[in-house]
Structure 1
Amino acid sequence: MPFAKLRVVALDCPDPFALAEFYAAVIGGTPAQHFEGWVDLEGHDGTPLAFQESPGHVPPTWPSTDGSQQFHLDLTVEDMDAAEKQVLALGATVLDAADRNRSWRVYADPAGHPFCLCAE
């Protein structure tokens, strides 16, 4: 029997407010800093996200044969090409989007965390 529920997914990063602004532009919501080094993304649909300051943050490697990507976020979109243009304009980088016929493409957010844009 479960005894806990997921409260939030927190991403380590060098600048919590900047990364919260990136995700606010992608999935909606408003960054809210309730205490130093921690920013919540409030008022969006879906799983709660937060961003924690980590001055020594080292982005995961994707793909990695000698390490781990740690985790990634899957974001559902209606128009893959339009969503790709928007995330790139916001500072994302392409990790794996060469196969335009599959239902997902992989990017890194400005702090280096991998995420996928997935077709509905």
Structure 2
Amino acid sequence: MESVHYVSVATTPMCLIVVGMGLAEHSFSSALPKGVFVTIVKLMIQPCLVWLIARLLGLGDLETNAVTLMAALPVAINAYLMAQDFEAEEGGASNAIFVSTFASAITVPLTLTLLGVAPVL
């Protein structure tokens, strides 16, 4: 059981190293347009679509807020891992992770405020 703990503690730092290696391997500026596009879709359009679908399905407020907030989170490391595995758009994926994580510092609190579960700043 102790070995599982050690693996779980090392997971986040290792993921950060992998994304950093992806950013260092590919040109940041040449992949920036792709990263920005993916970030806009992921942090702005996807949460709106998920909220709309949740409302159309008749989900309650708690469920709607939960799925909308999940949709508003930044691009995850699995996008880069899959891009690397398929040898396609590694630069765009690593850039999207970086840009969306940076932008989510603004969009996640904004999403919470729009959902009415956070105080207006």
Structure with larger Rg? 2
TM-based fold match above 0.5? no
Greater strand percent: which structure?
1
The higher-RCO structure (CA 8 Å, 6+ apart) is 2
TM-score range, shorter chain: under 0.3
